[in-house]
Structure 1
Amino acid sequence: MAEARAAEVDIVYLDYNATAPLRPEALDATLAALNSVGNASSMHHLGRDAAARVDAARRQLAGLLNCSTGEIIFTSGATEANNLALRAAYARSGALVTTAVEHPAILETARAVTEGEPDSLVLLPVDGDGAVDLEPLDGIFRERQVALVSVMLANNETGVLTDLTPIVKAAHEAGALVHTDATQYVGRLPVDLDVLDVDLLSLSAHKFGGPQGVGALFLRRGTSLPHRPLLVGGGHERGWRAGTLNVAGIAGLGAAAEAAGLKLQSESARVSDLRNALEVGLTARVPGCRINGAGAPRLPGVTSITFPGMPADAVLAAMPYVAASDGSACSSGAPTPSHVLLAMGRTRDDADSTVRFSLGYDTTRRDIERGVDAAAEAVAQVRSVLAATAEP
């Protein structure tokens, strides 16, 4: 159970969207690779052993995604994979289309590659539940040539899902490529790349129980893209990234992918029930709180809850033994409110009063009970302090 992983302080871990606890299978595979010596590019026996671990991980990840091993490029994580995808695709002629609620790894990369050409970047809006508004797409494809459409499968802050089917169909008919940042989706819901039909997909191991610092880019065979590696040198990973392969991390990624795939349906259903219990418990205990994206399909283990007038940082500080988040972990400390919630029409005050709870494979019913108690008490404590300081 999640709380047993930190017995010293008995933490209730509800921050899987930031990083998931390392699965035992991934830990075993990572340690086994760390205890072995050998560069996966070396031709001697130890090098071949390291290469075999990498090959096994490719097969394991390909099994989870239903793709060919030759379509997988290992990276340092989804941020690098996103950069590779957008930089290579934008090297084709045309505009780059994405959404207003993407992760900063997409939005900042998109702004960087289109710098000096502001008209080449198009951001699709979302509705009040965070669902992408697809109505502008037809006009965009009629009015301009598009190089790439990049839309995330699941939002990292709200868990809101996007059905890519109409996007892929329209983009391909217009001659554009489609990329998806599937960082929060892979290992939590089924991915069948034969059905999904995107050209590129990014993922990160630590979101589904693998080690941090390793991920992958799926690049569909036959997709015509110029190499735009961020690191140049030895030409590893078919020229897409140079540098000695992170064999231990890759082995852990593969093991986590296989473990997640074996229990995908049962874990998704169980975690969905726990998320629902968390929301029911908090809405009953904290009148007036609101669930963001509740009207849209969402990931099974994610809930974004606004406690109006209660600063999220104060609520989190008042429940030190519950690990949750006030937004994207990659944006923590940022002086601006959540761009996702603002795009959904929330006020800055509401965005600053929102806590994200995210559950996963190791979350228990007891974790939820303790999380509800702690959050309700924390909100009451913050409310009391605010009321006291407001008195004349």
Structure 2
Amino acid sequence: MSLNSMVIQGYHRQLFPKAMRSIAKVAFFSKISSIPKKRPVYFDYQATTPVDPRVLDKMMPFFTEKFGNSHSRTHGYGWEAEDAVEEARANIANLIKCQPKEVIFTSGATESNNTVIRGVCDIYGNIGNKKNHIITTQIEHKCVLSTMRELELKGFRVTYLKVNDKGLISLEELEKSIIPGETILVSIMHVNNEIGVIQPMNLIGDICKKYNVLFHSDVAQGLGKINIDVDKWNADFLSLSAHKVYGPKGIGAFYIRSKPRRRIKPLIFGGGQERGMRSGTMPVPLAVGFGEACKIASSEMNTDYIHVKTLYDKLYKGITSQLPDVELNGCGVNRMFGNLNLSFAGVEGESLMMKLYSMALSSGSACTSASLEPSYVLRAIGVGEDIAHTSIRFGLGRFTTHNDVDKAIQEIVESVKLLRKMSPLWDPEANMRVKGEESLKWT
């Protein structure tokens, strides 16, 4: 069997160790480098979204003639910039139904998550009095899980709630996990970035309010796509990001409730900007872009939803009607329909992505490090290691077209059929996975 054939079929990892796979990938991409260059069709909207042209138009003057520092209070350049920032803040607040003064700008959702979680623990935590318990889930974004691990090293106790096979938490387990007088914070993401599952935020907020526990959520994936209401959720803190809502990269924010007043210890110290909670010079063009993106999302959310849901149904049905043994990862109902995470039995996800080089995709079998471990989110919902390695995430958004989806269906079906014919994990005659495949181990 040739080296290229081994790559194309995603040869079983027991027979194809890491070093050989690395060499094979180089060989594969060297081969396709001779193909005429064409931008791949974008299907990775959970990773980032393109900046909406209207957002860019709004930002451009603040890179050129309106270049003032919004903290300069002695001349028109500063006043002009400050007015633009406050308009942006109001647009963001309107999208999540809070007051503008409750929106604090940061560099992105990772900084927001760190600032809120660590800042809450610094103000409300007391390790000596056992007021040091936090609750989160096993499927949070890496920046939340890493922050929790760091806090555990400092003496905080963290409960990582399990989820069911649909990716949803148990509200009963959440309530049982709260220790009155000791639990200070519940941090549960709104929409999961890998499988698109939406947690019941209003019910989670009700439980937190019942026990007087602070409630934080990372809403980066759902912002501008699903209605968010901080009062209906009883949310105390939210983390936001611009580049997931067709805004620029490098800007985010967090919401902090003012009534009753919530407090945090800042993560960054300096000039005391952003009500003393986030020091540093305001990147005015980015803030303006974030605000404009939220303004557009407020007015076009329903239109975007219908567009994306139509494409989701078309893509999902187009694939599953022609291919057997394709599994949807995550809940089919309580989900953000811009996210379609599928597992293709008998096909290794990374190899399928290499075959689909005309599309920009994310593999659920790839992770955030050099490790070849399968997705921790898929493992948390009970997906077996063999199937977890076969997953692909398709991200749909505002600028995805029906033509994009039609081409994707055709290429995916053809590629999966080809790879399955060559796979030792697939029986081409029976058109089904090899009996006993679940006992095989990926290495």
Instruction: Give the TM-score, by structure 1 length.
Output: 0.92
Q: Which of 82, 86, 89 lines up with 2:117 in the alignment?
A: 86
Stretches of structure 2 lacking an aligned partner (at least 5 in a row) = 1-35, 126-130, 428-443
- Which residue number in structure 2 is paired with residue 15 of structure 1? 44
Q: Which of 145, 170, 179 lines up with 1:107 in the alignment?
A: 145
Cα distance in structure 2, aligned partners of 1:222 and 1:306: 45
- Which residue number in structure 2 is paired with residue 230 of structure 1? 267
Give the drift of 1:164.
1.5
Give the drift of 1:116.
4.3
Stretches of structure 1 lacking an aligned partner (at least 5 in a row) = 1-6
Cα distance in structure 2, aligned partners of 1:177 and 1:121: 14
- Which residue number in structure 1 is paired with residue 58 of structure 2? 29
Give the drift of 1:246.
0.9
Cα distance in structure 2, aligned partners of 1:321 and 1:124: 38
Give the drift of 1:62.
1.2
Give the drift of 1:225.
4.5
- Which residue number in structure 2 is paired with residue 346 of structure 1? 383
Q: Which of 288, 302, 306 lines up with 1:251 in the alignment?
A: 288
1:42 and 2:72 matched: yes
The answer to whether the Cα contact below 8 Å between 2:46 and 2:221 also exists between their aligned partners in 1 is yes
Residue 228 of structure 1: SS of its match in structure 2?
A: coil
Cα distance in structure 1, aligned partners of 2:214 and 2:103: 17
1:220 and 2:257 matched: yes
Give the drift of 1:224.
4.7
TM-superposition CA deviations, 1:208-253 (whole Å, max 9, x none): 1000111110011135554422221111111111111111111110
What code does the residue aligned with 2:134 have? L
Q: Which of 338, 344, 348 lines up with 1:311 in the alignment?
A: 348
What code does the residue aligned with 1:40 have? S
Residue 300 of structure 1: SS of its match in structure 2?
A: coil
**Count of aligned positions:** 383
- Which residue number in structure 1 is paired with residue 410 of structure 2? 373
- Which residue number in structure 2 is paired with residue 132 of structure 1? 169
Between 1:187-196 and 1:137-146, the stretch displaced more is 137-146
Residue 178 of structure 2: SS of its match in structure 1?
A: helix
What code does the residue aligned with 2:400 have? T
- Which residue number in structure 2 is paired with residue 4 of structure 1? none
Matched ranges for 1:170-209 at <5 A:
170-209=207-246
Q: Which of 290, 296, 299 lines up with 1:262 in the alignment?
A: 299
The answer to whether the Cα contact below 8 Å between 2:364 and 2:390 also exists between their aligned partners in 1 is no
The answer to whether the Cα contact below 8 Å between 2:203 and 2:233 also exists between their aligned partners in 1 is no
Runs of 4+ off more than 4 Å: 223-226, 387-390
Residue 243 of structure 2: SS of its match in structure 1?
A: helix
Cα distance in structure 2, aligned partners of 1:151 and 1:212: 23
1:62 and 2:99 matched: no
TM-superposition CA deviations, 1:35-60 (whole Å, max 9, x none): 12211111211111111111110111
Q: Cα RMSD between the aligned structures? A: 2.2
The answer to whether the Cα contact below 8 Å between 2:44 and 2:361 also exists between their aligned partners in 1 is yes
What code does the residue aligned with 1:102 have? E
Instruction: Give the TM-score, by structure 2 length.
Output: 0.82
Identity of aligned residues (%): 34
Residue 227 of structure 2: SS of its match in structure 1?
A: coil
Q: Which of 162, 182, 195 lines up with 1:158 in the alignment?
A: 195
The answer to whether the Cα contact below 8 Å between 2:364 and 2:389 also exists between their aligned partners in 1 is no
